[in-house]
Amino acid sequence: MKLKHNHSTKNHNFQRLIWETSFLLVFALTSLNFGFAQTSNSLPNEIENVNSEQARVTGLKYLSVHVLELEKTLKLYREILGFKMADAEVLHGPGLEGMLVMKLKADDLTIGLSLTAPEFIDTIGPIGNTNHNHFMLKVNDIGPIGDKLKKEGYELENENYARDKYTFFVGPNGEIIGLSGWD
């Protein structure tokens, strides 16, 4: 009986491995096909009509990671992944007092590591507190994008997004997304 169970478990693990590999392969091929479809002449009308002047995302500005374990975090990003320390500053202000923000760079990618001062550890999380895990997208014109988000029911952290050229909002999966019109 035990031998049959082990064989069954091995078979189940093998089937699971096949399923996961197939899923990843389909995902990768779908992504490649979508990328190729964007450059072909057989695009849907709405994609064909998009021009470079339309408000859109133009790239990733940075990622921000809230640091829970400083030594392990620095070892991972600097020693293992090869990021270089570009800048570090201590922030001051309500809810930010004493927060250390370190900017690490790898080519054109910046990751902000933020370490909260112990007396403000309970303020982590809400949008508006810059010490949260989020990613910041570069946009070429934040006004129309912010307007579309509001029209779709998204709550924007900064109501002055057009003037200030930035805002944060929570995506449909709970992800915190930042938009920046700054270069």
Q: What is the pLDDT of residues 70-124, one digit of tens each?
A: 899 999 999 998 999 999 999 887 667 788 889 999 998 889 898 887 777 776 5
Looking at residue 43, the DSSP 8-state letter turns out to be: -
Q: What is the pLDDT of residues 11-58, one digit of tens each?
A: 545 455 444 544 444 333 334 443 433 444 444 444 444 444 799 999
Could you write out the DSSP letters of every residue in 142-168?
A: HHHHHHHHHHTTPPPS-TTHHHHSEEE
The whole-model pTM stands at 0.58
Residues 6+ away with beta carbon under 8 Å from 102: 85, 87, 88, 112, 113, 114, 115
Domain boundaries, the chain: 2-48, 57-180
- If phi > 0 it is left, if psi is from -120 to 50 it is alpha, else beta; for residue 45 that is alpha
Distance CA 167, CA 1 (A): 61
- Any idea which architecture 57-180 has in CATH? Roll (3.10)
Distance CA 103, CA 115 (A): 12
